[in-house]
Amino acid sequence: MAIKKWLVAGGLAASVAVAAVVVLGSGQSVAPQSTFVLLDGSQQTTADLKGKVTLVNFWATSCTTCVAEMPEVIATYDKFKDRGFETLAVAMSYDPPSYVVNFTETRKLPFKVAIDNTGAVAKAWGDVKLTPSTFIVNKRGEIVKSYVGAPDFAELHKLIERLLSEA
């Protein structure tokens, strides 16, 4: 029981520390350590994202805004993929896996798609409940911008350009 209390206290302290960095620091926080289970059964971790600018998009097939923005997410990926840009679409835990697979195949999504079966990834990334929620992660693994709802894609492209040009 004492260990459980210690873990809860440690988790709370870590959350407060991250919040302090976001509020007091540069406005950037380290992307949470997560394991993404991709549709092909392989896994990718947050650590695997380092060295690339990455768009992490939490979405659902039942979300009309998510479905509507997906062509622009694809176009963004296609525009920057050859320059060290990655996109990771994370389907919410309530989204039936068969729907996610069907959507991915019929829309020919060219980037990595993960299913967050347990909701642990959404919880780690700030307890994401609203879709679409999108995070832009720089080459150092820091979240530099987040959006709830569809982003302004022209602004997003300028940000990606700037992040890709950084060392």
**Domain extent listing, the chain:** 1-30, 31-165
- Gyration radius of the chain's alpha carbons: 16
Backbone angles phi, psi at 58, to 5 degrees: -90, 125
Mean pLDDT of the chain: 87
Rounded distance between C-alpha atoms, residue 130 and residue 71, angstroms = 20
What is the CATH topology of the domain spanning 31-165?
A: Glutaredoxin (3.40.30)
- DSSP-based three-state secondary structure for 60: coil
pLDDT tens column, 93-107: 999 999 999 999 999
pLDDT tens column, 118-161: 999 999 999 999 999 999 999 999 999 999 999 999 999 999 99
| AA letter at 86 | E
Rounded distance between C-alpha atoms, residue 108 and residue 64, angstroms = 18
pLDDT tens column, 15-47: 333 333 333 334 679 999 999 999 999 999 999
* DSSP-assigned beta bridge partners for residue 53: 85
Q: CB neighbours (10 Å) of residue 109?
A: 18
**pLDDT band at residue 83 using 50, 70 and 90 as cut-offs:** very high
Question: Residues, the chain, total?
Answer: 167
The whole-number pLDDT of residue 28 equals 76
